[in-house]
A = this chain, B = another copy of it.
């Protein structure tokens, strides 16, 4: 409830487009779970596959979405490919979402 929209409408439109683009990548149960896991550290695909119980091609497809948007980055180590968060803004958003959806209402400081 503070000082949004000191910017003009065209800039707002631009920013809203950018934000919507990122939100679209986040607005997916599995991808959100993936990012949560990765927010705690690097993991390779087979780790994620086990933890989330998603079939490999589907998993790879969702990781591809996140990769193309730059939300995750990768590193190869032998036969494994390790994923990590690749955009700091994702961490900010995850923090906010964690507060809103994963913490019990009592521990809210509002």
Chain A interface (Cβ within 8 Å of chain B)? 1-2, 4-5, 7, 9, 11-13, 15-20, 23-24, 26-30, 32-33, 36-37, 39-40, 51-52, 88-89, 91-102, 110
Which residue in chain B gives the minimum CB-CB distance to A24?
Answer: B27
Contact B9 A20 (CB under 8 A): no
**Protomer copies:** 2
Residues of B within 8 A of A40 (CB): 4-5
A19 touches which of B15, B91, B101 (Cβ 8 Å): B101
Please provide the 3 A-B residue pairs with the shortest distance between their CB atoms, ordered closest to farther: A23-B27, A16-B32, A24-B27
- Once the chains are docked, how many angstroms separate the CA of A98 from the CA of B92? 11
Known interface pairs A93-B96, A99-B92. Does A32 touch B5 (Cβ–Cβ under 8 Å)?
A: no
